[in-house]
């Protein structure tokens, strides 16, 4: 069975799947800069949209920090990291030159870091400690 998730105000340009509180969720980003977390069991939003990007959200990737799921989002020349449990940003935005078109993540270990590979106006590798 399929279901349409309604709530974005523009094109959805990015999506990633995670588990939050034991339930499957989709994390989506749109052209207006909004990030939505959807409970895939119910088809409803898990919380209010996460805001902070000033333009398109072109990329979403999922990682885990200290056992908590986080979404790394990119667009409009910035990378943001969101704690999916609280909906809060975990660190100030990371400015990057040009547009972000794709992200890949990996946890770097128990010290709380995330390793990012960012594709956009070139390719960059960044290790963040949050």
Three-state secondary structure of the chain: CCCCCCCCCCCEEEEEEEEECCEEEEEEEECCCCEEEEECCCCEECCCCECCCCCCCCEEEEEEECCEEEEEEEECCEEEEEECCCCCECCCCEECCCCEEEEEEEECCCCCEEEEEEEECEEEEEEEEC
pLDDT in the model for residue 72: 86
If you average pLDDT over residues 89-101, what whole number do you get? 85
| Tokens read off for 84 | 């999916």
Average pLDDT, the chain: 84
If you average pLDDT over residues 117-126, what whole number do you get? 71
Alpha-carbon distance values, 2 to 5, 9, 13, 20, 88 (Å): 10, 21, 19, 21, 30
Q: Which region among 22-36, 65-79, 82-96, 116-130 has the lowest average model confidence (pLDDT)?
A: 116-130
Q: Where do we find the tokens 């709380």?
A: 112
For 66, phi and psi rounded to 5 degrees? 50, 40
d(CA 71, CA 64): 9
Tens digit of each residue's pLDDT (9 = 90 or more) over 56-83: 899 999 988 777 888 888 887 888 989 9
pLDDT in the model for residue 118: 77
Q: Going from the N-terminus, what domains does the chain have, and what CATH number goes with each? A: 12-129 (2.130.10.10)
């Amino acid at each position: 069975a399929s279901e349409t998730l309604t709530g974005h105000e523009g094109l959805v340009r990015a999506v990633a799947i995670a588990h939050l509180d034991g339930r499957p969720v989709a994390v989506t980003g749109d052209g207006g800069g909004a990030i939505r977390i959807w409970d895939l069991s119910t088809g409803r939003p898990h919380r209010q949209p996460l805001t902070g990007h000033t333009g398109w959200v072109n990329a979403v990737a999922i990682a885990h920090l200290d056992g908590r799921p986080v979404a790394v989002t990119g667009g409009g020349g910035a990378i943001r990291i969101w704690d999916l449990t609280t909906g809060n940003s975990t660190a100030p935005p990371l400015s990057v030159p040009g547009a972000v078109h794709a992200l890949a993540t990996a946890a770097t270990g128990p010290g709380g870091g995330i390793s990012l590979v960012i594709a956009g106006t070139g390719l960059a590798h960044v290790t963040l400690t949050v």
